[in-house]
Chains A and B, each alone.
Chain A
Amino acid sequence: MKPWAALRAVVMAIYVFMLGPIVITAAVSFNQSNRSQFPPRGFSLQWWQRAFSAEWVDPLVFSLKLGLLAALISTLLALPLAFALARHRFAGRDALAALTLGPLMLPALVTGVGLLQLFQYAGAREYIGFTALLIGHVVICLPFAVRTIAISLQTLPPNVELAAASLGASRAAALWHVVLPLIKTGIVAGAVFAFVHSFTDVNLSLFLARPGEQPITVKILGFLEYGFAPTLAAVSVITLLLPLVLVVIVERVSGLGDFIYASRSRG
Protein backbone atom coordinates (compact mmCIF):
# COMPACT_ATOMS: atom_id res chain seq x y z
CA MET A 1 0.00 0.00 0.00
CA LYS A 2 3.07 2.23 -0.17
CA PRO A 3 2.29 3.95 -3.52
CA TRP A 4 -1.15 4.85 -2.19
CA ALA A 5 0.37 6.57 0.89
CA ALA A 6 2.67 8.56 -1.40
CA LEU A 7 -0.30 9.54 -3.55
CA ARG A 8 -2.17 10.67 -0.45
CA ALA A 9 0.71 12.95 0.55
CA VAL A 10 0.84 14.46 -2.96
CA VAL A 11 -2.92 15.01 -2.93
CA MET A 12 -2.69 16.78 0.44
CA ALA A 13 -0.06 19.14 -0.97
CA ILE A 14 -2.33 19.86 -3.96
CA TYR A 15 -5.20 20.70 -1.61
CA VAL A 16 -2.93 23.16 0.22
CA PHE A 17 -2.10 24.79 -3.15
CA MET A 18 -5.79 24.91 -4.14
CA LEU A 19 -7.29 26.16 -0.90
CA GLY A 20 -4.32 28.08 0.58
CA PRO A 21 -4.91 31.37 -1.27
CA ILE A 22 -8.61 31.31 -0.36
CA VAL A 23 -7.83 30.65 3.33
CA ILE A 24 -5.19 33.41 3.32
CA THR A 25 -7.64 35.87 1.72
CA ALA A 26 -10.23 35.12 4.40
CA ALA A 27 -7.68 35.39 7.23
CA VAL A 28 -6.19 38.66 5.96
CA SER A 29 -9.63 40.32 6.04
CA PHE A 30 -9.51 40.25 9.87
CA ASN A 31 -6.17 42.10 10.09
CA GLN A 32 -5.96 45.06 12.38
CA SER A 33 -3.68 47.08 10.08
CA ASN A 34 -4.25 47.65 6.38
CA ARG A 35 -1.34 45.38 5.46
CA SER A 36 -1.77 41.88 4.12
CA GLN A 37 -0.15 40.18 7.09
CA PHE A 38 -0.55 36.44 7.42
CA PRO A 39 -1.13 35.09 9.96
CA PRO A 40 -3.19 38.21 10.72
CA ARG A 41 -1.94 40.44 13.53
CA GLY A 42 -4.61 41.57 15.92
CA PHE A 43 -8.28 41.12 15.18
CA SER A 44 -10.62 43.65 13.67
CA LEU A 45 -13.96 43.70 11.93
CA GLN A 46 -13.48 47.18 10.48
CA TRP A 47 -12.81 45.88 6.93
CA TRP A 48 -15.93 43.76 7.10
CA GLN A 49 -17.89 46.79 8.20
CA ARG A 50 -16.64 48.65 5.14
CA ALA A 51 -17.45 45.68 2.92
CA PHE A 52 -21.08 46.12 3.89
CA SER A 53 -21.20 49.78 2.83
CA ALA A 54 -23.22 50.83 -0.21
CA GLU A 55 -20.06 51.05 -2.34
CA TRP A 56 -19.77 47.25 -2.23
CA VAL A 57 -23.31 46.12 -1.47
CA ASP A 58 -24.69 47.88 -4.57
CA PRO A 59 -22.56 46.00 -7.13
CA LEU A 60 -23.16 42.81 -5.14
CA VAL A 61 -26.92 43.24 -5.37
CA PHE A 62 -26.49 44.18 -9.03
CA SER A 63 -24.66 40.89 -9.64
CA LEU A 64 -27.32 38.91 -7.76
CA LYS A 65 -30.12 40.51 -9.78
CA LEU A 66 -28.24 39.98 -13.04
CA GLY A 67 -27.41 36.37 -12.17
CA LEU A 68 -30.94 35.42 -11.08
CA LEU A 69 -32.57 37.02 -14.13
CA ALA A 70 -29.98 35.55 -16.52
CA ALA A 71 -30.45 32.09 -14.95
CA LEU A 72 -34.25 32.31 -15.17
CA ILE A 73 -34.35 33.55 -18.77
CA SER A 74 -31.64 31.23 -20.06
CA THR A 75 -33.30 28.21 -18.43
CA LEU A 76 -36.68 29.07 -19.97
CA LEU A 77 -35.07 29.56 -23.38
CA ALA A 78 -33.02 26.39 -22.94
CA LEU A 79 -36.05 24.11 -22.52
CA PRO A 80 -37.26 24.14 -26.16
CA LEU A 81 -33.66 23.98 -27.43
CA ALA A 82 -32.85 20.99 -25.21
CA PHE A 83 -36.04 19.17 -26.28
CA ALA A 84 -35.32 19.75 -29.96
CA LEU A 85 -31.67 18.67 -29.68
CA ALA A 86 -32.17 15.68 -27.38
CA ARG A 87 -35.42 14.28 -28.76
CA HIS A 88 -35.62 15.03 -32.45
CA ARG A 89 -33.67 14.35 -35.60
CA PHE A 90 -34.19 17.06 -38.21
CA ALA A 91 -32.37 18.87 -41.00
CA GLY A 92 -30.08 21.51 -39.57
CA ARG A 93 -29.87 19.81 -36.17
CA ASP A 94 -26.05 19.91 -36.23
CA ALA A 95 -26.10 23.59 -37.12
CA LEU A 96 -28.51 24.29 -34.26
CA ALA A 97 -26.31 22.31 -31.83
CA ALA A 98 -23.25 24.25 -32.96
CA LEU A 99 -25.05 27.56 -32.57
CA THR A 100 -26.33 26.59 -29.12
CA LEU A 101 -22.95 25.47 -27.81
CA GLY A 102 -21.17 28.27 -29.70
CA PRO A 103 -21.01 30.66 -26.73
CA LEU A 104 -19.11 27.91 -24.86
CA MET A 105 -16.62 27.37 -27.68
CA LEU A 106 -15.84 31.00 -28.31
CA PRO A 107 -14.20 32.98 -25.51
CA ALA A 108 -16.75 35.09 -23.56
CA LEU A 109 -14.29 37.96 -23.96
CA VAL A 110 -14.84 37.89 -27.73
CA THR A 111 -18.63 37.75 -27.34
CA GLY A 112 -18.33 40.78 -25.05
CA VAL A 113 -16.25 42.74 -27.57
CA GLY A 114 -18.67 41.73 -30.35
CA LEU A 115 -21.74 42.84 -28.39
CA LEU A 116 -20.09 46.16 -27.47
CA GLN A 117 -19.33 46.85 -31.15
CA LEU A 118 -22.85 45.74 -32.16
CA PHE A 119 -24.51 48.12 -29.70
CA GLN A 120 -22.20 50.96 -30.73
CA TYR A 121 -22.53 50.52 -34.50
CA ALA A 122 -26.31 50.03 -34.20
CA GLY A 123 -26.55 53.35 -32.37
CA ALA A 124 -27.83 51.65 -29.22
CA ARG A 125 -25.10 52.83 -26.86
CA GLU A 126 -27.59 53.76 -24.16
CA TYR A 127 -28.28 50.05 -23.60
CA ILE A 128 -24.70 49.45 -22.47
CA GLY A 129 -25.08 48.64 -18.78
CA PHE A 130 -27.76 46.40 -17.31
CA THR A 131 -29.63 45.62 -20.55
CA ALA A 132 -26.53 44.73 -22.55
CA LEU A 133 -25.13 42.75 -19.60
CA LEU A 134 -28.37 40.78 -19.22
CA ILE A 135 -28.43 39.92 -22.94
CA GLY A 136 -24.77 38.90 -22.89
CA HIS A 137 -25.16 36.82 -19.74
CA VAL A 138 -28.22 34.99 -21.12
CA VAL A 139 -26.19 34.15 -24.25
CA ILE A 140 -23.18 32.75 -22.38
CA CYS A 141 -25.33 30.94 -19.75
CA LEU A 142 -27.64 29.30 -22.30
CA PRO A 143 -25.28 26.41 -23.23
CA PHE A 144 -24.95 25.35 -19.57
CA ALA A 145 -28.72 25.16 -19.13
CA VAL A 146 -29.23 23.39 -22.50
CA ARG A 147 -26.53 20.82 -21.82
CA THR A 148 -27.77 19.99 -18.33
CA ILE A 149 -31.42 19.69 -19.40
CA ALA A 150 -30.44 17.64 -22.48
CA ILE A 151 -28.56 15.19 -20.25
CA SER A 152 -31.59 14.65 -18.02
CA LEU A 153 -33.81 14.22 -21.11
CA GLN A 154 -31.44 11.62 -22.54
CA THR A 155 -31.58 9.55 -19.35
CA LEU A 156 -35.37 9.62 -19.47
CA PRO A 157 -36.94 6.62 -21.26
CA PRO A 158 -38.74 8.02 -24.35
CA ASN A 159 -41.77 5.81 -23.81
CA VAL A 160 -42.98 7.65 -20.68
CA GLU A 161 -44.64 10.12 -23.03
CA LEU A 162 -46.16 7.29 -25.05
CA ALA A 163 -47.42 5.71 -21.83
CA ALA A 164 -49.03 8.99 -20.80
CA ALA A 165 -50.56 9.38 -24.28
CA SER A 166 -51.95 5.83 -24.22
CA LEU A 167 -53.64 6.72 -20.94
CA GLY A 168 -55.36 9.60 -22.68
CA ALA A 169 -53.10 12.55 -21.88
CA SER A 170 -52.66 15.21 -24.54
CA ARG A 171 -49.13 16.09 -25.66
CA ALA A 172 -49.15 19.21 -23.51
CA ALA A 173 -50.51 17.35 -20.49
CA ALA A 174 -47.89 14.60 -20.88
CA LEU A 175 -45.16 17.23 -21.00
CA TRP A 176 -46.46 19.18 -18.05
CA HIS A 177 -47.49 16.29 -15.76
CA VAL A 178 -44.97 13.62 -16.70
CA VAL A 179 -41.83 14.84 -18.44
CA LEU A 180 -41.22 18.14 -16.65
CA PRO A 181 -41.48 16.66 -13.13
CA LEU A 182 -39.08 13.89 -14.15
CA ILE A 183 -36.43 16.29 -15.46
CA LYS A 184 -36.96 18.81 -12.63
CA THR A 185 -33.55 18.09 -11.11
CA GLY A 186 -31.85 18.71 -14.44
CA ILE A 187 -33.68 22.00 -14.91
CA VAL A 188 -32.78 23.19 -11.42
CA ALA A 189 -29.15 22.12 -11.86
CA GLY A 190 -29.01 23.93 -15.20
CA ALA A 191 -30.36 27.10 -13.62
CA VAL A 192 -27.83 26.86 -10.79
CA PHE A 193 -24.91 26.45 -13.21
CA ALA A 194 -26.23 29.37 -15.24
CA PHE A 195 -26.42 31.54 -12.13
CA VAL A 196 -22.92 30.62 -10.98
CA HIS A 197 -21.54 31.25 -14.46
CA SER A 198 -23.18 34.67 -14.58
CA PHE A 199 -22.21 35.60 -11.02
CA THR A 200 -18.53 34.74 -11.57
CA ASP A 201 -18.17 36.11 -15.11
CA VAL A 202 -15.75 38.92 -15.72
CA ASN A 203 -14.53 38.40 -19.31
CA LEU A 204 -17.82 39.44 -20.90
CA SER A 205 -19.01 41.95 -18.28
CA LEU A 206 -15.77 43.90 -18.64
CA PHE A 207 -16.93 45.38 -21.94
CA LEU A 208 -20.64 45.86 -21.26
CA ALA A 209 -20.61 47.45 -17.80
CA ARG A 210 -20.65 51.13 -17.05
CA PRO A 211 -20.15 53.11 -13.83
CA GLY A 212 -23.09 52.52 -11.51
CA GLU A 213 -24.13 49.47 -13.53
CA GLN A 214 -21.32 47.02 -12.97
CA PRO A 215 -21.23 43.54 -11.49
CA ILE A 216 -19.13 42.91 -8.38
CA THR A 217 -16.33 41.17 -10.34
CA VAL A 218 -15.78 44.20 -12.57
CA LYS A 219 -15.96 46.50 -9.54
CA ILE A 220 -13.27 44.48 -7.71
CA LEU A 221 -11.08 44.41 -10.80
CA GLY A 222 -11.30 48.19 -11.17
CA PHE A 223 -10.54 48.70 -7.50
CA LEU A 224 -7.45 46.49 -7.65
CA GLU A 225 -5.60 49.14 -9.63
CA TYR A 226 -5.21 50.99 -6.34
CA GLY A 227 -3.44 48.02 -4.82
CA PHE A 228 -4.20 46.07 -1.69
CA ALA A 229 -7.06 46.85 0.65
CA PRO A 230 -8.30 44.41 3.30
CA THR A 231 -11.86 45.53 2.47
CA LEU A 232 -11.38 43.73 -0.83
CA ALA A 233 -10.45 40.55 1.02
CA ALA A 234 -13.71 40.75 2.96
CA VAL A 235 -15.70 41.47 -0.23
CA SER A 236 -13.98 38.50 -1.92
CA VAL A 237 -15.06 36.18 0.88
CA ILE A 238 -18.66 37.43 0.59
CA THR A 239 -18.77 36.89 -3.18
CA LEU A 240 -17.34 33.41 -2.64
CA LEU A 241 -19.88 32.49 0.04
CA LEU A 242 -23.05 33.59 -1.81
CA PRO A 243 -22.93 30.99 -4.64
CA LEU A 244 -21.58 28.40 -2.20
CA VAL A 245 -24.61 28.80 0.07
CA LEU A 246 -26.93 28.59 -2.95
CA VAL A 247 -25.30 25.40 -4.24
CA VAL A 248 -25.35 23.74 -0.82
CA ILE A 249 -29.07 24.54 -0.40
CA VAL A 250 -29.95 23.24 -3.88
CA GLU A 251 -27.82 20.14 -3.38
CA ARG A 252 -29.71 19.42 -0.12
CA VAL A 253 -33.15 20.07 -1.60
CA SER A 254 -32.96 18.55 -5.06
CA GLY A 255 -29.41 17.37 -5.70
CA LEU A 256 -26.90 18.35 -8.39
CA GLY A 257 -25.22 14.96 -8.53
CA ASP A 258 -23.88 13.78 -11.86
CA PHE A 259 -24.80 17.02 -13.58
CA ILE A 260 -21.55 18.43 -12.17
CA TYR A 261 -19.82 17.08 -15.29
CA ALA A 262 -22.06 19.26 -17.44
CA SER A 263 -20.79 22.32 -15.59
CA ARG A 264 -17.40 22.08 -17.27
CA SER A 265 -16.76 25.27 -19.09
CA ARG A 266 -15.78 23.87 -22.46
CA GLY A 267 -15.04 20.60 -24.22
Chain B
Amino acid sequence: MAAPLALLLLFFALPNALLLSASFVKSEAQQLTHELTLENYQFLFTRPLYIWAFVRTFIVGVSVGLIDVVLGYPLAYFLVRTRSRWKGVLIALALAPLLASVVVRTYGWYIILNRFGVANDLLLALGAIDERIAFMPSTGAIVIGLAHALLPYTVLTIMGSLQGINPNLELAAMSLGANRVRTFFDVVLPLSFPGIAGGFILSFSIAISAYATPAILGGPATQVMATAIYGFMTQLLDWSIGAALAVILVVCAVALAYVAARIGARQGAL
Protein backbone atom coordinates (compact mmCIF):
# COMPACT_ATOMS: atom_id res chain seq x y z
CA MET B 1 0.00 0.00 0.00
CA ALA B 2 2.90 2.34 0.75
CA ALA B 3 4.58 1.90 -2.64
CA PRO B 4 1.69 2.92 -4.93
CA LEU B 5 0.75 5.73 -2.54
CA ALA B 6 4.31 7.07 -2.56
CA LEU B 7 4.41 6.85 -6.35
CA LEU B 8 1.16 8.78 -6.77
CA LEU B 9 2.12 11.44 -4.22
CA LEU B 10 5.65 11.91 -5.49
CA PHE B 11 5.12 11.63 -9.24
CA PHE B 12 1.52 12.73 -9.69
CA ALA B 13 0.40 15.02 -6.85
CA LEU B 14 3.76 16.74 -6.43
CA PRO B 15 4.39 17.61 -10.11
CA ASN B 16 0.87 18.99 -10.39
CA ALA B 17 1.30 21.05 -7.21
CA LEU B 18 4.61 22.23 -8.62
CA LEU B 19 2.94 23.30 -11.88
CA LEU B 20 0.32 25.23 -9.95
CA SER B 21 2.91 27.10 -7.90
CA ALA B 22 5.23 27.60 -10.88
CA SER B 23 2.39 29.29 -12.74
CA PHE B 24 2.41 32.10 -10.14
CA VAL B 25 6.17 32.63 -10.22
CA LYS B 26 8.46 34.22 -12.77
CA SER B 27 10.97 31.88 -14.34
CA GLU B 28 14.25 32.55 -16.02
CA ALA B 29 16.27 30.07 -18.09
CA GLN B 30 14.13 27.13 -16.94
CA GLN B 31 14.70 27.96 -13.26
CA LEU B 32 12.13 29.49 -10.93
CA THR B 33 12.78 32.87 -9.32
CA HIS B 34 11.30 33.99 -6.00
CA GLU B 35 9.13 36.66 -7.55
CA LEU B 36 5.39 36.04 -7.11
CA THR B 37 3.39 37.30 -10.05
CA LEU B 38 0.16 37.06 -12.03
CA GLU B 39 2.00 38.04 -15.19
CA ASN B 40 1.96 34.54 -16.66
CA TYR B 41 -1.82 34.50 -16.70
CA GLN B 42 -2.03 38.16 -17.74
CA PHE B 43 0.23 37.39 -20.70
CA LEU B 44 -2.00 34.53 -21.87
CA PHE B 45 -5.25 36.42 -21.49
CA THR B 46 -4.09 39.56 -23.30
CA ARG B 47 -2.28 38.19 -26.38
CA PRO B 48 -4.70 37.61 -29.30
CA LEU B 49 -2.61 34.59 -30.38
CA TYR B 50 -3.38 32.75 -27.14
CA ILE B 51 -6.93 34.01 -26.79
CA TRP B 52 -7.48 32.52 -30.24
CA ALA B 53 -5.80 29.30 -29.12
CA PHE B 54 -8.34 29.06 -26.25
CA VAL B 55 -11.25 29.77 -28.58
CA ARG B 56 -9.98 27.32 -31.20
CA THR B 57 -9.45 24.60 -28.57
CA PHE B 58 -13.02 25.10 -27.35
CA ILE B 59 -14.44 25.04 -30.90
CA VAL B 60 -12.47 21.87 -31.69
CA GLY B 61 -13.67 20.20 -28.46
CA VAL B 62 -17.34 21.01 -29.03
CA SER B 63 -17.24 20.03 -32.72
CA VAL B 64 -15.46 16.75 -32.01
CA GLY B 65 -17.94 15.95 -29.21
CA LEU B 66 -20.95 16.68 -31.42
CA ILE B 67 -19.64 14.73 -34.44
CA ASP B 68 -18.76 11.76 -32.26
CA VAL B 69 -22.19 11.66 -30.64
CA VAL B 70 -23.94 11.96 -34.02
CA LEU B 71 -21.79 9.16 -35.53
CA GLY B 72 -21.38 7.13 -32.35
CA TYR B 73 -25.06 6.88 -31.39
CA PRO B 74 -26.35 4.98 -34.45
CA LEU B 75 -23.30 2.74 -34.34
CA ALA B 76 -23.70 1.99 -30.62
CA TYR B 77 -27.44 1.39 -31.03
CA PHE B 78 -26.80 -0.97 -33.93
CA LEU B 79 -24.08 -2.89 -32.06
CA VAL B 80 -26.24 -3.33 -28.96
CA ARG B 81 -29.38 -4.40 -30.84
CA THR B 82 -28.17 -6.35 -33.85
CA ARG B 83 -28.82 -10.10 -33.92
CA SER B 84 -26.28 -10.59 -36.69
CA ARG B 85 -23.88 -13.47 -36.21
CA TRP B 86 -21.13 -10.97 -37.04
CA LYS B 87 -21.95 -8.97 -33.91
CA GLY B 88 -18.72 -9.91 -32.12
CA VAL B 89 -16.60 -9.09 -35.15
CA LEU B 90 -18.41 -5.77 -35.70
CA ILE B 91 -17.87 -4.72 -32.07
CA ALA B 92 -14.19 -5.70 -32.31
CA LEU B 93 -13.82 -3.69 -35.54
CA ALA B 94 -15.42 -0.64 -33.93
CA LEU B 95 -13.07 -0.76 -30.94
CA ALA B 96 -9.89 -2.01 -32.64
CA PRO B 97 -8.79 1.53 -33.67
CA LEU B 98 -8.17 2.17 -29.94
CA LEU B 99 -5.21 -0.18 -30.20
CA ALA B 100 -3.48 2.20 -32.61
CA SER B 101 -1.85 5.35 -31.36
CA VAL B 102 -3.52 8.64 -32.25
CA VAL B 103 -0.30 9.46 -34.12
CA VAL B 104 -0.79 6.48 -36.42
CA ARG B 105 -4.47 7.15 -37.01
CA THR B 106 -3.90 10.84 -37.67
CA TYR B 107 -1.19 9.89 -40.14
CA GLY B 108 -3.91 8.20 -42.22
CA TRP B 109 -5.67 11.58 -42.47
CA TYR B 110 -2.41 13.24 -43.38
CA ILE B 111 -2.11 10.81 -46.32
CA ILE B 112 -5.66 11.68 -47.37
CA LEU B 113 -5.71 15.44 -46.82
CA ASN B 114 -2.27 16.74 -47.77
CA ARG B 115 -1.83 18.76 -50.95
CA PHE B 116 -0.60 15.75 -52.91
CA GLY B 117 -2.79 13.33 -51.02
CA VAL B 118 -5.58 10.91 -51.81
CA ALA B 119 -8.45 13.43 -51.56
CA ASN B 120 -6.83 15.85 -54.02
CA ASP B 121 -5.95 13.03 -56.43
CA LEU B 122 -9.51 11.76 -56.32
CA LEU B 123 -11.13 15.17 -56.84
CA LEU B 124 -8.74 15.95 -59.71
CA ALA B 125 -9.49 12.61 -61.35
CA LEU B 126 -13.22 13.23 -61.02
CA GLY B 127 -12.78 16.68 -62.54
CA ALA B 128 -14.39 18.29 -59.48
CA ILE B 129 -11.41 20.65 -59.04
CA ASP B 130 -8.89 22.10 -61.47
CA GLU B 131 -6.00 22.62 -59.11
CA ARG B 132 -4.96 21.17 -55.81
CA ILE B 133 -6.64 22.48 -52.64
CA ALA B 134 -4.98 22.92 -49.25
CA PHE B 135 -7.26 20.92 -46.91
CA MET B 136 -4.60 21.19 -44.25
CA PRO B 137 -3.22 22.79 -42.14
CA SER B 138 -6.64 23.84 -40.94
CA THR B 139 -8.94 23.69 -37.91
CA GLY B 140 -11.36 21.59 -39.96
CA ALA B 141 -8.70 18.94 -40.57
CA ILE B 142 -7.93 18.86 -36.83
CA VAL B 143 -11.63 18.36 -36.06
CA ILE B 144 -11.97 15.50 -38.57
CA GLY B 145 -8.80 13.80 -37.34
CA LEU B 146 -9.78 14.02 -33.67
CA ALA B 147 -13.42 13.04 -34.27
CA HIS B 148 -12.10 9.97 -36.05
CA ALA B 149 -9.58 9.15 -33.32
CA LEU B 150 -12.01 9.53 -30.41
CA LEU B 151 -15.14 7.94 -31.93
CA PRO B 152 -14.57 4.50 -30.28
CA TYR B 153 -14.63 6.12 -26.79
CA THR B 154 -18.01 7.69 -27.52
CA VAL B 155 -19.33 4.41 -28.94
CA LEU B 156 -18.22 2.54 -25.78
CA THR B 157 -19.85 5.10 -23.49
CA ILE B 158 -23.17 5.11 -25.37
CA MET B 159 -23.18 1.29 -25.66
CA GLY B 160 -22.77 1.06 -21.89
CA SER B 161 -25.78 3.27 -21.34
CA LEU B 162 -27.94 1.53 -23.96
CA GLN B 163 -27.18 -1.87 -22.43
CA GLY B 164 -28.48 -0.59 -19.10
CA ILE B 165 -31.96 0.10 -20.49
CA ASN B 166 -34.53 -2.50 -19.49
CA PRO B 167 -35.83 -4.05 -22.77
CA ASN B 168 -39.25 -4.52 -21.16
CA LEU B 169 -39.76 -0.75 -21.29
CA GLU B 170 -39.64 -0.90 -25.09
CA LEU B 171 -41.96 -3.91 -25.20
CA ALA B 172 -44.33 -2.01 -22.92
CA ALA B 173 -44.30 1.03 -25.22
CA MET B 174 -45.00 -1.14 -28.25
CA SER B 175 -47.76 -3.05 -26.52
CA LEU B 176 -49.36 0.33 -25.83
CA GLY B 177 -49.40 0.98 -29.58
CA ALA B 178 -46.18 2.87 -30.28
CA ASN B 179 -44.32 1.77 -33.39
CA ARG B 180 -40.57 1.11 -33.43
CA VAL B 181 -39.58 4.63 -34.45
CA ARG B 182 -41.84 6.28 -31.90
CA THR B 183 -40.62 3.85 -29.20
CA PHE B 184 -37.06 4.82 -30.02
CA PHE B 185 -37.64 8.57 -29.84
CA ASP B 186 -39.98 8.54 -26.81
CA VAL B 187 -38.37 5.79 -24.71
CA VAL B 188 -34.85 4.74 -25.73
CA LEU B 189 -33.40 8.10 -26.69
CA PRO B 190 -34.38 9.94 -23.47
CA LEU B 191 -33.25 7.01 -21.33
CA SER B 192 -29.85 6.96 -23.02
CA PHE B 193 -29.27 10.68 -22.47
CA PRO B 194 -26.61 10.08 -19.77
CA GLY B 195 -24.68 7.99 -22.31
CA ILE B 196 -24.95 10.76 -24.92
CA ALA B 197 -23.82 13.43 -22.49
CA GLY B 198 -21.08 11.17 -21.12
CA GLY B 199 -19.81 10.36 -24.60
CA PHE B 200 -19.86 14.04 -25.58
CA ILE B 201 -17.92 15.10 -22.49
CA LEU B 202 -15.42 12.24 -22.84
CA SER B 203 -14.46 13.07 -26.44
CA PHE B 204 -14.62 16.82 -25.67
CA SER B 205 -12.22 16.49 -22.75
CA ILE B 206 -9.73 14.25 -24.57
CA ALA B 207 -9.88 16.51 -27.64
CA ILE B 208 -8.96 19.71 -25.78
CA SER B 209 -5.78 18.14 -24.40
CA ALA B 210 -4.72 16.25 -27.55
CA TYR B 211 -1.37 17.24 -28.98
CA ALA B 212 -0.56 14.88 -31.86
CA THR B 213 -3.52 15.55 -34.16
CA PRO B 214 -3.32 19.38 -34.03
CA ALA B 215 0.45 19.08 -34.51
CA ILE B 216 0.11 16.91 -37.62
CA LEU B 217 -3.00 18.34 -39.29
CA GLY B 218 -2.63 21.93 -38.07
CA GLY B 219 0.10 24.50 -38.29
CA PRO B 220 1.41 27.71 -36.72
CA ALA B 221 -1.83 29.46 -37.69
CA THR B 222 -4.05 26.86 -35.99
CA GLN B 223 -2.52 26.68 -32.49
CA VAL B 224 -4.53 24.98 -29.76
CA MET B 225 -3.77 24.88 -26.04
CA ALA B 226 -1.79 21.62 -26.23
CA THR B 227 0.47 22.80 -29.07
CA ALA B 228 0.94 26.16 -27.33
CA ILE B 229 2.04 24.38 -24.11
CA TYR B 230 4.52 22.33 -26.15
CA GLY B 231 5.81 25.53 -27.74
CA PHE B 232 6.39 27.21 -24.37
CA MET B 233 8.11 24.11 -22.98
CA THR B 234 10.41 23.28 -25.90
CA GLN B 235 10.85 26.35 -28.13
CA LEU B 236 10.02 29.54 -26.26
CA LEU B 237 11.39 28.01 -23.04
CA ASP B 238 9.15 30.06 -20.77
CA TRP B 239 8.19 27.30 -18.38
CA SER B 240 6.09 29.46 -16.08
CA ILE B 241 3.76 30.52 -18.85
CA GLY B 242 3.71 26.88 -19.97
CA ALA B 243 2.72 25.95 -16.39
CA ALA B 244 -0.05 28.59 -16.36
CA LEU B 245 -1.42 27.23 -19.63
CA ALA B 246 -1.31 23.67 -18.21
CA VAL B 247 -3.21 24.86 -15.11
CA ILE B 248 -5.91 26.38 -17.32
CA LEU B 249 -6.18 23.07 -19.20
CA VAL B 250 -6.51 21.18 -15.90
CA VAL B 251 -9.27 23.52 -14.70
CA CYS B 252 -11.21 22.81 -17.92
CA ALA B 253 -10.65 19.03 -17.58
CA VAL B 254 -11.72 18.99 -13.91
CA ALA B 255 -14.83 21.05 -14.68
CA LEU B 256 -15.79 18.59 -17.42
CA ALA B 257 -15.10 15.59 -15.15
CA TYR B 258 -17.32 17.20 -12.49
CA VAL B 259 -20.19 17.60 -14.95
CA ALA B 260 -19.69 13.99 -16.12
CA ALA B 261 -19.80 12.75 -12.53
CA ARG B 262 -23.03 14.68 -11.90
CA ILE B 263 -24.62 13.10 -14.97
CA GLY B 264 -23.28 9.71 -13.88
CA ALA B 265 -24.96 10.15 -10.50
CA ARG B 266 -28.25 10.82 -12.23
CA GLN B 267 -27.74 7.76 -14.35
CA GLY B 268 -27.38 5.71 -11.17
CA ALA B 269 -30.63 7.06 -9.80
CA LEU B 270 -32.65 6.19 -12.87
Chain A contacts with B in 127-186, Cβ cutoff 8 A = 135-136, 138-139, 142
Residues from chain B with Cβ under 8 Å of A232 in the complex: 107
> A49: shortest Cβ distance to chain B, in Å?
19
User: B49 contacts the other chain (Cβ, under 8 Å)?
Assistant: no
Asked if B205 contacts A110 (CB within 8 A), the reply is no
Interface string of A111-124 (1 = CB under 8 A from B): 10111111011000
Asked if A117 contacts B18 (CB within 8 A), the reply is yes
Asked if B243 contacts A202 (CB within 8 A), the reply is no
Residues from chain B with Cβ under 8 Å of A36 in the complex: 111, 114, 116-118
Residues from chain B with Cβ under 8 Å of A244 in the complex: 96, 99
Chain B: CB-nearest residue to A26: B108
Whole-angstrom distance between the alpha carbons of A199 and B208 in the complex? Answer: 21
Residues from chain B with Cβ under 8 Å of A116 in the complex: 233
> A210: shortest Cβ distance to chain B, in Å?
12
Asked if A139 contacts B7 (CB within 8 A), the reply is yes
Partner of B243, one of A10, A106, A115, A117: A117
Chain A contacts with B in 84-106, Cβ cutoff 8 A = 84, 96, 99-100, 102-103, 105-106
Asked if A243 contacts B249 (CB within 8 A), the reply is no
A25-B111, A264-B202, A267-B201 given; A240·B100 CB < 8 A: yes
Asked if B160 contacts A200 (CB within 8 A), the reply is no
Whole-angstrom distance between the alpha carbons of A202 and B253 in the complex? Answer: 18
Residues from chain A with Cβ under 8 Å of B69 in the complex: none
Partner of B121, one of A37, A114, A233, A263: A37
Asked if B93 contacts A7 (CB within 8 A), the reply is no
Partner of B103, one of A7, A202, A264: A202
> A86: shortest Cβ distance to chain B, in Å?
14
Whole-angstrom distance between the alpha carbons of A11 and B86 in the complex? Answer: 14
A11-B74, A21-B109 given; A120·B30 CB < 8 A: yes
Interface string of B108-133 (1 = CB under 8 A from A): 11111010111001000000000000
> A24: shortest Cβ distance to chain B, in Å?
6
> B250: shortest Cβ distance to chain A, in Å?
5
Whole-angstrom distance between the alpha carbons of A121 and B22 in the complex? Answer: 10
Whole-angstrom distance between the alpha carbons of A114 and B1 in the complex? Answer: 24
Asked if A110 contacts B117 (CB within 8 A), the reply is no
Whole-angstrom distance between the alpha carbons of A35 and B31 in the complex? Answer: 45
Residues from chain B with Cβ under 8 Å of A135 in the complex: 7, 11
Asked if B4 contacts A80 (CB within 8 A), the reply is yes
User: A220 contacts the other chain (Cβ, under 8 Å)?
Assistant: yes
A24-B111, A77-B3, A240-B100 given; A261·B71 CB < 8 A: no
> A186: shortest Cβ distance to chain B, in Å?
17
Residues from chain A with Cβ under 8 Å of B93 in the complex: 15, 18-19
Residues from chain A with Cβ under 8 Å of B201 in the complex: 267
Residues from chain A with Cβ under 8 Å of B239 in the complex: 117, 120
Asked if B16 contacts A111 (CB within 8 A), the reply is yes
Tier of interface size on chain B: 35 or more
User: B223 contacts the other chain (Cβ, under 8 Å)?
Assistant: no
A3-B180, A264-B153 given; A99·B13 CB < 8 A: yes
Residues from chain A with Cβ under 8 Å of B103 in the complex: 202, 217, 220-221
Partner of B229, one of A22, A80, A96, A113: A113
User: B173 contacts the other chain (Cβ, under 8 Å)?
Assistant: no
Asked if B107 contacts A224 (CB within 8 A), the reply is yes
User: B151 contacts the other chain (Cβ, under 8 Å)?
Assistant: yes
A36-B111, A118-B15, A243-B99 given; A107·B4 CB < 8 A: no
> A138: shortest Cβ distance to chain B, in Å?
7
Asked if B78 contacts A8 (CB within 8 A), the reply is yes
Interface string of A3-15 (1 = CB under 8 A from B): 1100110110011
Partner of B1, one of A15, A81, A201, A247: A81
User: B198 contacts the other chain (Cβ, under 8 Å)?
Assistant: yes
Chain A: CB-nearest residue to B150: A265
Residues from chain B with Cβ under 8 Å of A105 in the complex: 253-254, 257
> B141: shortest Cβ distance to chain A, in Å?
12
> B56: shortest Cβ distance to chain A, in Å?
16
User: A239 contacts the other chain (Cβ, under 8 Å)?
Assistant: yes
A99-B12, A110-B250 given; A221·B18 CB < 8 A: no
Can you name 8 A-B pairs with beta carbons within 8 Å?
A4-B180, A21-B108, A100-B8, A114-B16, A138-B7, A217-B212, A220-B103, A221-B212
Q: A107-B226, A110-B253, A236-B104 are in contact. List 10 more A-B contacts (CB 8 A).
A: A18-B94, A19-B97, A80-B3, A109-B209, A113-B243, A114-B15, A120-B30, A196-B98, A220-B104, A228-B110
